[in-house]
Structure 1
Amino acid sequence: MSPATTAADQHARTDETTVRTDDGAALAVSVLAPLNAGPGSGTTVVLAHGWAAARRVWGTVTDRLIRSGHRVVLYDQRGHGASGLGKEPIAIRRFGADLAAVLGETGSRDAVLVGHSGGGFAAMAYATADPAAARRLRGLVLLGTAAHDQETPDSEVRMMGNAMFSRALRRPALGRRLLAQTMGKGVDPYLLEVNRQMFAAVSPQVRSDCFASSRGMDMRAGLAAVEVPAVVLAGENDRVVKPELGSAVAKALPDARFERLPGAGHMLPLERPDEIVRAVAGLVARPRG
């Protein structure tokens, strides 16, 4: 059983499956449906996590969504958690194609798609690659993410792949201190530890490749053709992806609302699950166009 599903176990039926991409990556996927819900009950919500995280980051969000009657699909990005790598190198376009495979294999085309940070990059890459397919979505919720201006410095990319940094991450107290800037102030120490464990579990090479993959990315022009209702949330204290970049995403989309969350940092799935669930509920409540 995936650690991501444990919070919702008593409320949901869980199917653990593998989606094979066209370049041979095996993606670990969890599909959860509320107990006593018939086929087609509720709206499907697909959750895409960010770099150096895993399905586990969505535990509380998943629980809330299941309690609200939604079917939930969540997966480990390639090279993260229980998912492997394929033949193609890590790239934003590749992550978008992986998401397309997950949506197709789990029957989740008519879904609300939620992407955090690098998962937001994947969601936007999917939507801009095929706007016609994206229009079949119920909505987009984009968290702590950007469509451009992600020129990670060489020093940071090297740090992500550095063996000494990886050893430091494996030391709980030190690792939590190193990653504290990714979250807002006053966060539950347990959430800091969850974040550390996920970050430390990703291989140094995958971390480095992910953080380098967004260089040169600019999806703003393509977003103009993505005619699906969207909500973009950003923590006002996000020091990983500037909130202004989330505002730029909302401005690029034809039908989007931007909200800055007071006191929150970058790790919104851990810090602000209720706001995420409310954003999903607002999109589901909108009449279909």
Structure 2
Amino acid sequence: MTAAATAPVAGETWLRTEDGTRLAVSVLAPLARGSARRPVVVLAHGWGGSRRIWGPVTDRLLRRGFPVVSYDLRGHGSSTVGAAGVTAAAMAADLAAVVRHAGGAPLVVGHSGGGFAALAMAAVPGPGVRPVGLVLVASAAYDQDTTEKEARMMGAPLFSWALRRPGLGRTLLNQMTGTSLAPRLREVNRQVFAGTAPEVRAACFRSSRGMDLRAALAGARLPAAVLTGGADRVVRPELGRDLAATLPDAEFTPLDGAGHVLPLEHPDAVAESVTRTAARVTAGTPGAGTP
């Protein structure tokens, strides 16, 4: 079993990638320390979001004793876009750079498009990249062929204008979430989505066309967990079940009635999956399989 990573020094920093992208990275030290050493957790958010989406999950992980590293995807939040643009390969390479910064062997948690990057990185890790576990949140390994019409809508001026209006923007994004999400968290979701440049949103949704990582993931033999919202209208729930069946050592957790933004909707469930996966990493035991 690969040894867990040692967390870098806590604080805010910038990572510069080979193509000139500047990634905004946060490193947070745990608030509680138990007898067992917790692995570093790297959090990769979804398209149109930012590391702010992880706030409720980060709080829970820090209180459970996990060091946490989060970052803004290229073109999101405070991160820039380099010469390579917003592509699937570039986003996977960015995550690999963050993993190396986090010590090379963290537990990686990816939400939605951040999960696509985590899966691509795990399939072909590269030098200095040895994730000890994966938690995939509302994500998939294939069937993300967004049409050009849908991609253009994400970058359309009218859509962006509507997102900047709080009431209208929350209404537009209601389909992303389940019914139980608190109004203040719906507003967080709107703010981060509205804060992403329209051309970045459109490029993200183009980047997954033709993606099929199932064959490559057959050799990804590391503890994994997959969480899926039963009412997810962005990444269909059955794709989460397929992902758990594809990974050699994955647990599957369906969340009835939940939508797509599980880091805000069900932070306790996400934190619990991270904790269980970390325990499996420490014990070196296989997962429970897919029900």
Same fold judged by TM-score > 0.5?
A: yes
Q: Say whether 1:218 aligns with 2:212.
A: yes
Q: Is the 8 A contact 2:43 2:70 kept in 1?
A: yes
In 1, Cα distance between equivalents of 2:258 and 2:19: 37
Q: 1:228 aligns with which of 222, 230, 240?
A: 222
Q: 1:279 aligns with which of 243, 258, 273?
A: 273
Q: Deviations over 1:128-171 (max 9, x none)?
A: 1227866x322100010111101112221111111111000000
Q: Say whether 1:111 aligns with 2:106.
A: yes
The 1:133/1:106 distance shift into structure 2, 3 A limit, reads closer
Q: 2:14 aligns with which of 12, 18, 23?
A: 18
In the other structure, the counterpart of 1:4 is none
TM superposition shift of 1:41: 4.8
Letter in 2 for 1:240: V
In the other structure, the counterpart of 1:191 is 185
In the other structure, the counterpart of 1:7 is none
The 1:46/1:183 distance shift into structure 2, 3 A limit, reads same
Letter in 1 for 2:174: A
Matched position secondary structure for 2:228: strand
Letter in 1 for 2:16: R
Q: Which structure 2 residue ranges, 5 or more long, are not aligned?
A: 1-8, 286-291
Q: TM-score, normalised by structure 1?
A: 0.91
Q: Is the 8 A contact 1:227 1:254 kept in 2?
A: yes
In the other structure, the counterpart of 2:119 is 124
Q: Deviations over 1:152-193 (max 9, x none)?
A: 122211111111110000000000000000000132111111
Q: Say whether 1:155 aligns with 2:149.
A: yes
Q: Deviations over 1:189-236 (max 9, x none)?
A: 111111000000000000000011101000000010101110000000
In 2, Cα distance between equivalents of 1:262 and 1:131: 36
In 1, Cα distance between equivalents of 2:137 and 2:31: 28
Q: Which structure 1 residue ranges, 5 or more long, are not aligned?
A: 1-12
Query: Alignment length, in residue pairs?
Result: 274
Q: 1:95 aligns with which of 88, 91, 95?
A: 91
Q: Is the 8 A contact 1:95 1:125 kept in 2?
A: no
In the other structure, the counterpart of 1:5 is none
In 2, Cα distance between equivalents of 1:147 and 1:269: 19
Q: 1:181 aligns with which of 170, 175, 185?
A: 175
Q: Is the 8 A contact 2:31 2:64 kept in 1?
A: no
Q: Is the 8 A contact 1:78 1:85 kept in 2?
A: yes
